[in-house]
Structure 1
Amino acid sequence: MSADVTEAGPDAPTPPDPHEPVPHEPGRVRQVAEGIGTRLVAFARVRPVSLALALLLVVLALASGSLTHAPSERLRELVGAGLDPFEDRTSWLLVFGSVFFAGGPAQLVLAVVGVLVLVGAAERRMGPCRTVAAYLVTAVVATGVGVAVQALGQALGETWALEVAAESTLHPLTPALGTIMTASAFSGPLWRRRIRLVGFSFVFAFVLYDGHPSGLYALLGALVGLAFGVVLAGRPAERGWLRSSHHEVRRLASTIVAVTALGPVLTLLTRSPIGALSPLGMLFRDVLPGRSLSAACAAAGQGAPDRHAPPIGACARAAALAGIDTVPTVLLSLLPLAVLLVCAWYLRRGRRLALDVAVAVNGLLAVFAGLYYVVLPVTTDPVVDQPRHVVERGVLAVLAVAVPAAVAVGLFLLRRHFGIGAEGTRRPRFALVVVLSGVVLAVTFAVLAWLGRASFVPTIEPWTLLLDVPERFVPVGFVGLTRIGPVPDGGVVRAAFEWVGPLWWLVVLVGLVVGATRPGDVRPDAARAQVREIVHRGTPGTLSHMALWEGNRYWFTADGRAAVAYRVVAGIAVTTGEPLCPADRLPEVTREFARWCDDQGLTPVFYSVRGELSPLFADMGWSTLPVGEETVLHPATFAMTGKKWQDVRSSINRATKNGVRAEWTRYADLRPAVARQIGEISEQWVAEKNLPEMGFTLGGVDELRDPDVALMLALDEDDSVQAVTSWLPSWRDGEVVGWTLDFMRRRPDSMNGVMEFVIASSALAMKEQGVEFLSLSAAPLATSASSDGPASQTERVLTFLGRVLEPAYGFRTLLTFKKKFQPEFVPLVMAFPDPVQLPAIGTALGRAYLPDLSVGAVVRLVRTVV
């Protein structure tokens, strides 16, 4: 029946009267205002303490007249923290008011944001009562101890304490930092590590580069919060270091390098930085504000510097600083920091070249800091007076050396987590370019300087020139404040003097970007794109999509329409599943790859291939061993009927009652909050196991980002992720014909049976899609039944390993779980040419699954399984 003759029923809506006025919809501004109000009300319900504290800071700033400008001197004298203000005021209790006032509008904004974010996060973890206690305790103890430390330093004649004695410090961020550190004790292993490491990195940066009492109070607040959190949580402080996945280690290392690189910038934002490392940024300022060089010399009681006589004293320092206070000088100070920031960016992506450069730059900074802050001031520099307090200055020098040295050593020890590009040719090429460019620039400057030596003030000597060449590549913060060398008047010599250093650092920076962006020719993007095309055309195995993961190398047939994905470990080429080709080409491609490996001096091993291919390998004279069983379902006939499905049906009913729903999606389509939760669930799973994270045929969070990979999520009514699974596609002629389970994680406090619910929901979704099969993948070293015949010695060893590793990784428990879905079992085997090489093959497989296995990891593994 056509739509225009449809008869309206009794319940059909009445057409609107055209003469009746249409109700006015709320305006856009009103809707936005209502939305903001709703969010504020919700925020106030969940985080009332943090909101109240933020409002208190704003109200006090408004009442004191410091909302739009710096607070008055009277207010600083009344509530500011510091030794002299503490002694002068009538009531010592007023010093604790320093945490409720800001030193200006910028600090007020930072304080309000810090309270809302840091205290808000702490309140969510600890509750309002503990949050209030942590805020007050850290504020009172940090302020009191900080003033006491200043008093002790002044009594001992310590230079820093004498310099800052008269300062009145307002530090509203101290209790916020202390509160979040307290809350770290109530967080899981992942967030506990993140909060403490990142928090102390920023605090130490302020202490070392800024140097004012506010940094001391922040450090004390963080330490007090750390201890107070242990007391409140009622559990002993953890000893040792918790296990972290590659992804998390890369993020934390990237953060540390970024913080140490940005530390010198703090000297630009501080009116008078006095931290131990503040000299790194001192020459960004006008060293002689408002006065000419001759006026400075006159003020120092000296005449203008003679061209042929070395200037001395204050005039010498002024002359040298004025001579190098140029744009290239600024670039020479900024470029190493820019290189470190670029390293931090690529460390997050696991690039080995970025790690090499970060280690080298921090190592060089440590060496030069030791040379210019320790050796030269004591032995050769006649300008810098010998320090009155040798121990005190020695501590500062040690800090200047220790910070970059500690970063370099720490990164070197973590190098196994940064393997991308480790085997390519980019790193040797980068090193060659950097060394050659440095040599060419150094020789160029030396030749030009010697030919134009008469233009230097004073005239340069040969030995002085030799010492001056390395200084051209060093940031002037290390040179200008400790040793003064001759400076050329101008011309080509002056250009070379100023520009050889920045040019070399530019070469380093550009080379780093090029080399880290393209980590090498081992895993080129073009080869992976070609493999993706082959996979989309169709391959017989269910694990073919794993060939697209990072870490694989690729071999192609002559026509480029077939390939093998493999990894090389100690001369063993372990394939990632079966050859990538049509079924009728499997024998041909398998033999060609085996011959190519033999030509390359590699031992080929086909891993996790279907047992039905065993006759092919028998014809080649190879041996096979079972390595697991793949569990396969057929969605077309999927039905949860019968007693065997009782557990699965109960899980679905439980999910319905608890408001948990299933959502089929892709990673690119996730809301940011959901994606963040998936990462946190995975990292927490790794951290709490305290065992090495396996790779190779077991994917992680990075593999979820592939646009072809599908996700099935379990979400509650608040969109909190309860569980997540990832599904790898199998293709035929560009169409998906099956899905293979890979990533599987659940929140620790999720409902019982949530994984059964997710997998059953996935099977129902695939039934609607009309795909041919659903694979629950295989559990390594676990089989559903024993062989009828006698087991070989190697099979007995594999069975023993599966039983021993069960407490650590639960392979057999996983297989038992998959049996709930009544799957079809498909045996998977490993094929290899020579049984004598089984020990080496076993080692290669272990390194493929656990590439970063360390002695400590082995100890933890033994403790788990014994």
Structure 2
Amino acid sequence: MLLVYSLSLLFLITVYLFVKENRAIGSVQNETDLNEIWTFLEKYGGNHTSHLSFLNDKLFYWAKNEQVLLTYQKVGKTCVVLGDPVGKESFMKDAIKEFKQFCYRSGNEPVFYHVSPRFLDDYIQKGYHSVKVGEEARIRIPEFSTVGKKKTRLRTPINKFERNGYRFSVLFPPHSALLKNELKAVSDSWLGNRKEKGFSVGFFCENYLARFPLAIVAGPDGKIIAFATLACNQQLKNRTITIDLMRYLQDSPSGTMDFLFVSIFNWCKEQGYEWCSLGMSPLANLGESERFNLAELIGQFIYKRGNYLYNFKGLYEYKNKFEPLWESRYLVYKKHTLPIIFVQITLLIHRKRKADIKEAAVTYLKRRIRRAG
């Protein structure tokens, strides 16, 4: 109990410090810049986060004479890089060093979020520290199957929905204005009174949707009841696609998203993809090893008790039902206080204003007081 209250106090202090130091997010790019990035990714291939560049809520740093690209956003005096660098492989290490110097010249501190195991050693060799911040769910498409007794729970929604006249399809750009309006209605229904997230999570943006194939589920009457964006500008070598933005009507039948996901996996197999990513589950499986550190303990605390910000645990449990391979993702840092970084990134994802942050902190404190009483 003492540990819980100590972490609660630490979390509230961290929120206060963040609000005190927080500054406005930097300006974003125009369509010409985004088209240039699209061409760059077609040449070099993307990675597990590169599709999120086209949400137009981030800044870009071109390194090594525009042969390596880093995507980031500024929060206070912190430059949060999303994912790994993309571009010419031989320049990656020097690009990271160049970005670090760029940050220091402007009085900022770089941190790196969603770092894959592939780049982790490069950061550690440069004197950075790391902490696991979650896991990305990846489906090995050639091995995916709905055959067998153990897969009945995945096979059932496919059979039920097809029998009742529901249809799955993948639509490729350009998308009509009529389609975009219908998808907007689905998205608004899914959101309800909630606010869109961002940064490392996709949100509804017509210009973003216009760039990618869309997987849709339509009812017997032809009305779209669910959809997902399929980010296809991923690794060139192992043919990866990412399911990013996922939305459904609130009154859609039970099992709609299961039908959508399984249909996407089957479509990926037909198209020859090797991997389908379901995205990262933030703060999942932290603090479960015998050697976890204080930072992971704080992260696990937020994961289990921070549902007023986001249902981290529920997201992990849903993705896990498809039996994916889980690949660790890391936060890489040097000088910052880790609790502040955790809150900065969480609130960056949630696109919170200062007033929202204060309200969330007060709400959490009131809950703790009521439970204690």
1:842 pairs with 325, 342, 345, which one?
A: 342
1:534 pairs with 40, 47, 61, which one?
A: 40
Aligned to 1:212: none
Q: Which has the higher contact order (CA 8 A, sep 6+)?
A: 2
Matched, 1:686 2:188: no
Letter in 1 for 2:193: E
1:797 pairs with 298, 307, 313, which one?
A: 298
Shift of 1:745: 1.4
Aligned to 1:442: none
Cα distance change on mapping 1:749 and 1:860 into 2, 3 Å? farther
Unaligned 5+ runs, structure 2:
1-23, 368-373
- 3-state SS in 2 of match to 1:588: helix
Shift of 1:693: 2.8
State the TM-score, normalizing by the size of structure 1: 0.37
Q: Higher strand proportion, which one?
A: 2
Letter in 2 for 1:640: T
Aligned to 2:222: 719
Shift of 1:536: 1.4
The 8 Å contact of residues 77 and 109 in structure 2, kept in 1 or not, is answered as yes
Shift of 1:618: 1.2
Letter in 1 for 2:122: L
The 8 Å contact of residues 26 and 74 in structure 2, kept in 1 or not, is answered as no
The 8 Å contact of residues 628 and 779 in structure 1, kept in 2 or not, is answered as yes
Aligned to 2:280: 778
The 8 Å contact of residues 287 and 300 in structure 2, kept in 1 or not, is answered as no
Letter in 2 for 1:766: C
Cα distance change on mapping 1:843 and 1:857 into 2, 3 Å? closer
User: Hey, what's the Cα distance between the residues in 2 that align with 1:703 and 1:589?
Assistant: 32
User: Hey, what's the Cα distance between the residues in 2 that align with 1:552 and 1:719?
Assistant: 36
Q: Which runs of structure 2 are paired with 1:236-275 in the superposition (5 Å)? A: none
Cα distance change on mapping 1:856 and 1:601 into 2, 3 Å? closer
User: Hey, what's the Cα distance between the residues in 2 that align with 1:571 and 1:630?
Assistant: 28
- 3-state SS in 2 of match to 1:825: strand
User: Hey, what's the Cα distance between the residues in 2 that align with 1:801 and 1:709?
Assistant: 33
Aligned to 1:806: 307
User: Hey, what's the Cα distance between the residues in 2 that align with 1:743 and 1:756?
Assistant: 15
Aligned to 1:750: 252
Cα distance change on mapping 1:682 and 1:741 into 2, 3 Å? same
- 3-state SS in 2 of match to 1:559: coil
The 8 Å contact of residues 574 and 604 in structure 1, kept in 2 or not, is answered as yes
Aligned to 1:567: 73
Count of residue pairs the alignment pairs up: 343
1:855 pairs with 355, 360, 363, which one?
A: 355
* 1:625-645 Cα distance to aligned partner (Å, 9 max, x none): 111111111222221123432
- 3-state SS in 1 of match to 2:291: coil
User: Hey, what's the Cα distance between the residues in 2 that align with 1:838 and 1:860?
Assistant: 20
The 8 Å contact of residues 572 and 602 in structure 1, kept in 2 or not, is answered as yes
User: Hey, what's the Cα distance between the residues in 2 that align with 1:532 and 1:598?
Assistant: 29
- 3-state SS in 2 of match to 1:821: coil
- 3-state SS in 2 of match to 1:601: coil
1:637 pairs with 127, 138, 143, which one?
A: 143
User: Hey, what's the Cα distance between the residues in 1 that align with 2:358 and 2:214?
Assistant: 33
* 1:520-566 Cα distance to aligned partner (Å, 9 max, x none): xx524443333222211234622112123212111112421211111
Q: Higher helix proportion, which one?
A: 1
Aligned to 1:710: 213
Letter in 2 for 1:687: G
Aligned to 1:765: 267
User: Hey, what's the Cα distance between the residues in 1 that align with 2:351 and 2:104?
Assistant: 24
Aligned to 1:815: 316
Identity of aligned residues (%): 22
Q: Report the structure number with the largest CA radius of gyration.
A: 1
* 1:416-456 Cα distance to aligned partner (Å, 9 max, x none): xxx9xx856xxxxxxxxxxxxxxxxxxxxxxxxxxxxxxxx
User: Hey, what's the Cα distance between the residues in 1 that align with 2:360 and 2:67?
Assistant: 45
1:668 pairs with 174, 185, 200, which one?
A: 174
Shift of 1:732: 5.3
Aligned to 2:182: 677
The 8 Å contact of residues 216 and 224 in structure 2, kept in 1 or not, is answered as yes
Letter in 2 for 1:831: V
Unaligned 5+ runs, structure 1:
1-418, 425-521
The 8 Å contact of residues 141 and 269 in structure 2, kept in 1 or not, is answered as yes
User: Hey, what's the Cα distance between the residues in 1 that align with 2:319 and 2:210?
Assistant: 26
* 1:668-727 Cα distance to aligned partner (Å, 9 max, x none): 33461x4323212222333334xx432111111106644431211110011222211112
State the TM-score, normalizing by the size of structure 2: 0.83
Matched, 1:609 2:135: no
The 8 Å contact of residues 677 and 721 in structure 1, kept in 2 or not, is answered as yes
Shift of 1:844: 2.9
